[in-house]
Structure 1
């Protein structure tokens, strides 16, 4: 019997918004069945990593070649309503600003169209030794394309 390879789902960019779906599993929740607060940050990190992948940015290669890596410089998060076990969540990410060595984004987590959590994030592009570095020009061009709303 031949088994087809199963690949992780990937998000999609539509009208400048990256959409990424996740499901809440038992391991994501606390003793009350509500998603543990730090896991919202994990969901957002997955969505940002997927946004980079969908935009053609190879983080692993950038790290291996010494080009650089992104690190969160600052983050503000607002928890509005809890997510629970078995919920299907949608993480939407929008690029809002771009600097020579930074990219700012807003992210929202919703369930069935209801906003549960939102955040503003600024990531800095760093050298392997942790110093700010200009983002590669093609990466910046990709982010600029995401900022353009039709």
Structure 2
């Protein structure tokens, strides 16, 4: 499990002072990007050298409790499966021990032109130690 910390800024909230629902997707994107980097994958080099990018194919999300302005949050990212062309992750946004948001995210591997592509073996090997 990978952890990424962030703080809720005023711009993340709505008129009620709680995090606007779409911003949870931004929070988990930051957590995923940090996880990929922690796995030793340089996404810019992957794009520039192999013409491969990762794209979100599916998100199944549950909004459980609201986060508020100034809350310190932690995004957890757990790899649940990796196949030839897909990566499935479970992600949560927490305030201390309280889960506020939960999502299952499916990523696919694409060429720069948007065509489906297989995940290179060396990338799958870098992800394998994270598999739970």
Relative to the length of structure 1, the TM-score reads 0.85
The number of residues matched between the two structures is: 132
Kept after mapping to 2: 8 A contact 1:76/1:121: yes
Q: Any idea what the Cα deviations from partners look like across 1:46-72, whole Å, max 9, x if unmatched?
A: 010011111111111112224310011
DSSP-derived class of the 2:22 partner: helix
1:67-93 per-position Cα deviation (integer Å, ceiling 9, x unaligned): 310011111000000000000001100
Residue 102 of structure 1 is matched in structure 2 by 86
Residue in 1 that maps onto 2:16: 32
* Range with greater deviation from structure 2 (57-66 or 68-77): 57-66
User: What are the within-5 Å matches in structure 2 for residues 111-122 of structure 1?
Assistant: 111-122=95-106
Task: Note the residue ranges of structure 2 that are not aligned, 5 or more in a row.
Answer: none
Q: If you compute each CA radius of gyration, which structure gives the higher value, 1 or 2? A: 1
CA RMSD of aligned residues (A): 0.9
- 1:132 counterpart = 2:127: no
- 1:75 match: 59
Match of 2:28 among 44, 62, 80: 44
Structure 1 residue runs without a partner (length 5+): 1-16
Deviation of 1:138 after TM superposition, in Å, equals 1.5
Aligned to 2:107: 123
